[in-house]
Amino acid sequence: MTIDPVNLTADLIRCESVTPKEAGALVLLEELLAKAGFECNRVDRGLVSNLFARWGTGKTLGFNGHTDVVPIGSLDDWSVDPFGAEIKDGFLYGRGSTDMKSGVAAFAAAAIDFVQNNPADGSIVLAITGDEEGQAKDGTLALLDWMNDNNETINHCIVGEPTCPENMGEMMKIGRRGSMTAYFTVRGIQGHSAYPHRAKNPLPVMAELICDLTSFELDQGSEHFDPSTLAVTTIDTGNLANNVIPAECRATVNIRFNDMHTSEELSVWLKEVTNKIASKSDVEINMEIQVSGESFITALGSFSDLVSNSVYSETGIYPQASTSGGTSDARFVKDHCPVVEFGLVGKTMHQVDERVSVNHIHQLKAIYANIIKNYFA
């Protein structure tokens, strides 16, 4: 059987799998893969559904992706049913059409086609999660934990996230910046604004702390990475009265860091700055840190060349090897095996009227098919 990746994408879009709902997406994929000869295992953890599917034995090429999607926002803002999978003007519309049900459909279709026509000389693994858009604690991490517990290995992996900014084939990801978030709470003493000497105002202290953090240059970039960034994402007091000095102020800072830093080193720096400000003020400053992942890079070599050449054979473009953008589950996969990301044009992901070119879905399946064929050549 030959799988049409556009039809499969449409079927997946009709599954309203907003994180962490499975909504039938993994059930659909499991049925298709099992029928094609894959040994399938559900690796559910907590509220999250995950699927591990293997065909064959020996040298293993893996594909990783997710079927969960972000919420649609306001339905009134959409010109189409966000879960209707409508095709118009050459584009398939729907939540997850770009990020990344089309990627999952393309690599599943390419893998199924390959195993129907080739002897089991080597192995293909599909590791598909229902939790990439959420906390991502029970998704790909659960799959990797299960693999370790069951002696399952992958030699190389493709993550099918959308990687191309504008044109199909122009970019693959060989690494990602790390991500960490610091949550600050400055606690003082509430008081009347006419008597500031009787209160301890947390706001000037927070302002000084944020100023010191944002004025510091973390670095100027490295060979493969742009400069690290620090962004203040919120400052809140919850104070509705103009004559009350608040007792507390909160702020959140997100850092995207390159390979010149580790989260541990940056945590030490944040602590030093916080302690300096606290030592000369009369208020309490608390800090909590959450690390989403460390920066990483996959060394350029035979595997990245295989991906690049496969993209070129279908698009006439050699993709730029990039580390730009946010985080992805590649940050987890890299601890298991070398990983490269390649997928569709991501311009409309997470947007109202999210859509993907129908031609690009077919093209992506062909690229994945070339990667599989050349990997086992």
Over residues 29-41, the pLDDT tens digits come to 999 999 999 999 9
pLDDT number for residue 123? 97
Residue 371 pLDDT exceeds 90: yes
The answer to whether the beta carbons of residues 145 and 49 sit under 8 Å apart is no
Sole residue written with tokens 């999210």: 354
Residue 134 pLDDT exceeds 90: no
DSSP-derived secondary structure letter, 319: P
Joined tokens for residue 251: 């702020």
pLDDT band at 121 (very low <50, low <70, confident <90, very high): confident
pLDDT band at 305 (very low <50, low <70, confident <90, very high): very high
pLDDT digits (tens, 9 = 90+) for 10-23: 999 999 999 999 99
pLDDT number for residue 315? 97
Question: Is 68 annotated as catalytic?
Answer: yes
Choose the catalytic residue: 30, 68, 113, 329: 68
Residue 1 pLDDT exceeds 90: no
Which amino acid, residue 268?
V
DSSP code per residue over 125-170: EEEEES-SSS--SSSHHHHHHHHHHTT---SEEEE----BSSSTTS
Count Cβ neighbours within 10 Å for each residue of 120-150 and write b for 16 or more, e otherwise.
Answer: eebbbbbbbbbbbbbebebbbbbbbebbeee
| Predicted structure pTM score | 0.90
pLDDT band at 326 (very low <50, low <70, confident <90, very high): confident
Of the chain, the end-to-end C-alpha distance in Å amounts to: 22
User: What's domain 5-176+295-375's superfamily in CATH?
Assistant: Zn peptidases (3.40.630.10)
DSSP code per residue over 216-284: S---S--SSSPPPEEEEEEEE-----TTEE-SEEEEEEEEEE-TT--HHHHHHHHHHHHHHHHHTSSSE
Residue 136 pLDDT exceeds 90: no
Strands 178-187 and 284-293: antiparallel
Residue 349 makes CB contacts below 8 A (sequence gap 6+) with 98, 99, 100, 162
Sole residue written with tokens 């926002």: 73
CA–CA gap between residue 340 and residue 324 (Å, rounded): 13
Please state which of the four CATH numbers 1.10.1040.10, 2.40.40.20, 3.40.190.10, 3.30.70.360 is assigned to the domain occupying 178-293.
3.30.70.360
Start and end residues for every CATH 3.30.70.360 domain found in the chain: 178-293
pLDDT digits (tens, 9 = 90+) for 284-303: 999 999 999 999 999 999 99
Start and end residues for every CATH 3.40.630.10 domain found in the chain: 5-176+295-375
pLDDT number for residue 301? 97
pLDDT band at 135 (very low <50, low <70, confident <90, very high): confident
Residue 320 pLDDT exceeds 90: yes
Residue 325 pLDDT exceeds 90: no
Phi, psi for 92 (deg, rounded to 5): -95, 120
The answer to whether the beta carbons of residues 99 and 136 sit under 8 Å apart is no
pLDDT digits (tens, 9 = 90+) for 155-199: 999 999 999 999 999 999 999 999 999 999 999 999 999 999 999
Q: Is the dihedral of CA 273, 275, 279, 283 positive or negative?
A: positive
pLDDT number for residue 282? 85
Sole residue written with tokens 């300096």: 276
The answer to whether the beta carbons of residues 255 and 228 sit under 8 Å apart is yes
CA–CA gap between residue 219 and residue 221 (Å, rounded): 6
Per the DSSP assignment, residues forming a β-bridge with 356 are: 92
Choose the catalytic residue: 132, 138, 152, 161: 132
Phi, psi for 212 (deg, rounded to 5): -65, -40
Least confident span in 71-75, 278-282, 309-313: 278-282
